[in-house]
């Protein structure tokens, strides 16, 4: 291995993200990324203090890829939905890495910019500081959960994913139908999305509609 090979930090992050995409979060290590670039692990420590530093950089990459639309004069909920769609567009190709954002959203400039825009829209909805902060956490975590919980998505090779899908479907179909009639009937739908686009559209609608419902509930009733 070349101990002093010149390394590009962005390339190292891309390599680590590729390992996570293919094999899951547990598969990525400093040593694994070093091997991919034919260098010793010490060469990576010039860019990252440890594995957590590498994971921080991966989370930052995901947030950097979020396209934050310009603010306009549309209602707050329409602007928020566009913003959240941009977050999903960034996370959907990387479901195994999405969980990294749970504790890292405000740890980078891109994450802070995203959080600022979400809080701005929630303030426009009439929420006070605490309500907006709580709602922002729920919203951003809900997006992460949508991605990592998409039915039919799993780490591993195509063969491993197919085996997990078939096993999950078979388990649900084997449940007692008299006790779980709806679960058994929905075994296919619970195991795999018929349409990922509809799955994410429904998720966004639930989030934004819920926030609008909170806004309406907070309005005083006219006497």
Looking at the structure, do residues 73 and 180 belong to the same domain, yes or no? Answer: no
CATH number at residue 32: 1.10.10.60
> Does some domain include residue 95?
yes
Sign of CA dihedral 169, 172, 178, 183: negative
Give the separation between CA 209 and CA 186, rounded to whole angstroms. 25
Looking at the structure, do residues 185 and 198 belong to the same domain, yes or no? Answer: no
Give the separation between CA 159 and CA 41, rounded to whole angstroms. 31
> Does some domain include residue 84?
yes
Looking at the structure, do residues 115 and 144 belong to the same domain, yes or no? Answer: yes
Looking at the structure, do residues 183 and 204 belong to the same domain, yes or no? Answer: no
> Tens digit of pLDDT per residue, the chain (223 long)?
555 567 889 999 999 999 999 889 999 999 999 999 999 999 999 999 999 999 999 999 999 999 888 889 999 999 999 999 999 999 999 999 999 999 999 999 999 999 999 999 999 999 999 999 999 999 999 999 999 988 877 666 678 778 888 999 999 999 999 999 999 999 999 988 889 999 999 999 999 999 998 777 655 544 4
Looking at the structure, do residues 22 and 96 belong to the same domain, yes or no? Answer: no
Looking at the structure, do residues 67 and 141 belong to the same domain, yes or no? Answer: yes
What are 30-88's pLDDT values in tens digits? Answer: 999 999 999 999 999 999 999 999 999 999 999 999 988 888 999 999 999 999 999 99
Domains identified in the chain, total number: 3
CATH number at residue 208: 1.10.357
> Does some domain include residue 55?
no
* Number of residues in the chain: 223
Looking at the structure, do residues 187 and 198 belong to the same domain, yes or no? Answer: no
Buried b (16+ CB within 10 A) or exposed e, 167-192: ebbeebeeeeeeeeeeebeebeebbe
Q: Containing domain of residue 165, as a range?
A: 158-191
Looking at the structure, do residues 14 and 71 belong to the same domain, yes or no? Answer: no
Looking at the structure, do residues 197 and 130 belong to the same domain, yes or no? Answer: yes
Predicted TM-score (pTM) of the model is 0.85
Sign of CA dihedral 61, 14, 164, 198: positive
Q: Which two tokens stand for residue 153?
A: 């998505």
Looking at the structure, do residues 204 and 106 belong to the same domain, yes or no? Answer: yes
* Residue the block writes with tokens 């997006």: 143
Give the separation between CA 99 and CA 147, rounded to whole angstroms. 9
């Amino acid at each position: 291995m070349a101990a002093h090979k010149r390394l590009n930090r962005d390339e190292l992050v891309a390599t680590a993200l590729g390992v996570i995409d293919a094999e899951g979060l547990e598969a990525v290590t400093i040593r694994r990324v070093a091997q991919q670039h034919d260098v010793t692990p010490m060469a990576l420590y010039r860019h990252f203090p440890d594995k957590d530093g590498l994971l921080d950089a991966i989370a930052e990459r995901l947030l950097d890829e979020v396209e934050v639309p310009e603010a306009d004069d549309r209602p707050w909920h329409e602007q928020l939905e566009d913003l959240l769609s941009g977050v999903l567009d960034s996370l959907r190709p990387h479901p195994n890495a999405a969980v990294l954002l749970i504790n890292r959203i405000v740890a980078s400039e891109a994450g802070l910019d995203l959080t600022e825009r979400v809080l701005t829209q929630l303030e426009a909805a009439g929420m006070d500081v605490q309500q907006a902060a709580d709602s922002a956490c729920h919203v951003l975590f809900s997006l992460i959960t949508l991605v990592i919980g998409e039915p039919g998505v799993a780490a591993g090779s195509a063969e491993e994913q197919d085996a997990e899908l078939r096993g999950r479907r078979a388990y649900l179909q084997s449940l007692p139908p008299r006790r779980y009639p709806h679960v058994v009937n929905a075994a296919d739908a619970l195991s795999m999305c018929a349409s990922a686009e509809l799955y994410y559209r429904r998720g966004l609608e639930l989030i934004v509609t819920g926030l609008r419902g909170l806004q309406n509930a907070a309005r005083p009733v006219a006497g």
